[in-house]
Structure 1
Amino acid sequence: MDLKELFFISLGTAVIVYFGGKLLLFSRMLFPKICFPVSKSFFTSMGEWAVVTGASEGIGRAYAFAMAEQGLNVVLMSRTKVKLDQVAKEINDTTGKKVKVIVTDFVTENVFSDIENQLKDLNIGVLVNNVGMLPSMIPCKFLETAELDQTILKVINCNVKTVAKMCKIVLPRMENRRKGVIVNVSSGTASLPFPMYTLYAATKVFVERFSQGLQAEYKSKGIIIQAVAPFGVSTRMTAYQETNMVTLTPEDFVKSSLQYIRAGDKTHGSICHIVMGWLLQIIPLKILYAEPLLYSLQDYVKKKVAQRECSF
């Protein structure tokens, strides 16, 4: 066997091993209950309280209910007191768990000292950083965003600063107890540079990299830190799209995502979204970035938003 033949055999073997490993890892995602088992007492073993930001509706509300159903008391955080009080009553009536409401607007400055004071006496086992905002309901180019300077500040405060600050508040006591769970909600748009959602997608890339870096730092302390990056979930942010096998209800998505809590530092949260993430990686960017496709997306969202507004 000459050197050239040996090289190609070795290359072929390496490719088979590489893609075989990828296939094996992917196949584990099909069976989360078997591959990443979570005991009934898993979440309560982390602490007495779960803290959920952006908890008044959508994915945040679903996480709050899920944590209460798992046996934790819940701190609900958002800017709308009426909605938070309603969710708190529903959780208490349904599960009997204690609920604490903290009204705060994460787009503003200097809110975290008060939050830290209100959380300091709680044994927090789970933090869900869910709160987030779009620069615009209608996807558009960066310079077309209304009130761009203000919007940049608000989006970064809400989507980036809040994640880092809430982790700073909660992590020290988790580290001392050597246990805890932090779920940082990212977005499928962070899978690749995403025109028309450029600022939003970029902030969600931060959420993923920040989460992955923290997990590397604190995994040895017994703390799970995971970025969850959903694609289609029917919420106000997505103009309440009709649900199907790809677009899930917040409740179905959260139920699925919690099955992957031990699956690593990033997950798309459901098998259909995992497949979508994989497909996005193999579609040529030239196709995804074609202007007709981008403007079709813009028109589609405009219609969906208009339909939602007409229905209210």
Structure 2
Amino acid sequence: MMFLIPYLIGPLKKIISVLTGFSDDLFILYTAHPILTVTVIALTTLSLSFVVQILLSFTNYLILILLPSSFWASKGSILKLQLQEKNKAGKLVPSKKLRPWAVVTGASDGIGKEFALQLAHLGYNIVLISRSVDRLKLVADLISTQDPLSKTLILPVDYAAASTHDYDTIAAALRPLHITVLINNVGISHAFPISFVEETSDMVHSIVQVNIMAQLTMTRIILPQMLARKEGTIINVGSMAGKVPSAYLSVYSGSKAFLRFWSQALALEVKPSNIHVEHVNTYFVATAMSKIRKASWLAPSPKLYVQSVLANVGNSINSTPYPPHGFVSWMFERFAPEHLLMKLSCDMHLDIRKRALAKIAREAKKN
């Protein structure tokens, strides 16, 4: 910063001269108005420093963002090397002597399916849990084709209607397995933005059961054996809606906010036992749930997104691992007050709601 001082002297003298009406001789200005002169110089220097920091951070993120998706996809071997380095800290690459199990909920499609495929490729056996047996069988077939040494176990369950008996059945099936990874990915949202008073009781119940109770119960089933072995990683897939209170998705937003805070609290509880719990902030990903059909730099494919998650697991208990998402999060945290983000979110959801209702009306006329 010091090399910029000579270039600042002229503008500083002009600024102080305008404020005081005195000559622009810096010594005279300082003699007449020492406090004002020092204050202006200090504020100008601090402002310049702040601008430089912003530009440097922006440049770093811009480099990451502008790299095409094909570049990230081509770096699978590098991502695996990064994971192997993390194995020194007991993270996600299993020992060659033992092929442990990873449990993935919501594994039939999208992000969950990719977690299952990529963890199998890293050397895990996979427990696949979701509602659709047929879809889970397709994922299991993909795993056996891609990685013949990986075993799979299919456990069909509808978490929205899961009973104590259903969870007991899951617990009994998982008890004999050596499980070191749990991916709490299952989640549901509203069909389209809707006000809280308009939402049905059944939908509210389903969101709470899937987005909160399923995460809690699956963790309670698996965590004890991780604690007994003093090894394990739990990844809870969160949402931007858990970071920014989201009107017209209030129940979903609240459920994801719960997941975020619970994950971070649990992470501190189990850290002394060598268990890593990580909440992953997920923004836009091209999945059926998000209704985004085409992947882009801001809405990556599930494959690319999961690569980023697995490459960075273990660095934080609350992470935003995909670089463009990290940049958006960084911008929000530093330059956008919460009330502004809430207003933008509300306006966006009202617009989506308007278009969704118009589509429903058009389809009703056709019928």
Alignment of 1:188-267 (within 5 A): 188-267=240-319
Match of 2:24 in 1: none
What amino acid is aligned across from residue 232 of structure 2 in structure 1?
G
Matched, 1:140 2:190: no
* Gap runs ≥5 in structure 1: 307-312
What amino acid is aligned across from residue 83 of structure 2 in structure 1?
V
Match of 1:84 in 2: 136
Distance 1:163 1:184 in 2: 8
Aligned-pair distance for 1:188? 1.3
Distance 2:142 2:358 in 1: 33
Match of 1:271 in 2: 323
> Which among 117, 131, 152 is matched to residue 99 of structure 1?
152
SS in 2 for 1:183: strand
Residues 251-296 of structure 1: CA distance to partner in whole angstroms, max 9, x if unpaired?
Answer: 1100011111011101122011111222333334246426654422
Distance 1:43 1:202 in 2: 33
SS in 1 for 2:84: coil
> Which among 86, 92, 117 is matched to residue 65 of structure 1?
117
Distance 1:94 1:58 in 2: 17
What amino acid is aligned across from residue 208 of structure 2 in structure 1?
I
What amino acid is aligned across from residue 38 of structure 1 in structure 2?
L
Distance verdict in 2 for CA 1:287–1:211, change over 3 Å: closer
SS in 1 for 2:83: coil
Paired residues of 1:241 and 1:247 also in contact (CA < 8 A): no
Match of 2:67 in 1: none
Match of 2:84 in 1: 39
Name the Cα RMSD after superposition.
Answer: 3.5
Match of 2:22 in 1: none
Alignment of 1:122-141 (within 5 A): 122-134=177-189, 136-141=190-195
Distance 1:305 1:255 in 2: 37
Match of 1:309 in 2: none
Match of 1:163 in 2: 215
Distance verdict in 2 for CA 1:47–1:224, change over 3 Å: farther
For the pair shown, the structure with the greater C-alpha radius of gyration is 2
SS in 1 for 2:326: helix
Aligned-pair distance for 1:150? 1.3
Residues 187-242 of structure 1: CA distance to partner in whole angstroms, max 9, x if unpaired?
Answer: 11111111121111110111111111111011111111101121111111111332
Distance 1:113 1:151 in 2: 24
What amino acid is aligned across from residue 43 of structure 1 in structure 2?
V
Distance verdict in 2 for CA 1:178–1:199, change over 3 Å: same
TM normalised by structure 2 equals 0.71
More helix by share: 2
Aligned-pair distance for 1:70? 0.4
Paired residues of 1:47 and 1:125 also in contact (CA < 8 A): no
Match of 2:227 in 1: 175
297-306 vs 214-223, which deviates more? 297-306
Paired residues of 2:140 and 2:152 also in contact (CA < 8 A): yes
Distance 1:278 1:83 in 2: 37
228-237 vs 289-298, which deviates more? 289-298
Paired residues of 2:284 and 2:300 also in contact (CA < 8 A): yes
Distance 2:221 2:108 in 1: 21
Match of 1:113 in 2: 168
Match of 1:153 in 2: 205
Distance 2:93 2:266 in 1: 20
Residues 166-207 of structure 1: CA distance to partner in whole angstroms, max 9, x if unpaired?
Answer: 111111111111111100111111111111211111101111
What amino acid is aligned across from residue 196 of structure 1 in structure 2?
Y
Distance verdict in 2 for CA 1:250–1:143, change over 3 Å: same
SS in 2 for 1:138: coil
Paired residues of 2:263 and 2:277 also in contact (CA < 8 A): yes
TM normalised by structure 1 equals 0.83
Distance 1:186 1:123 in 2: 26
SS in 2 for 1:227: strand
Distance 1:127 1:154 in 2: 22
SS in 2 for 1:237: coil
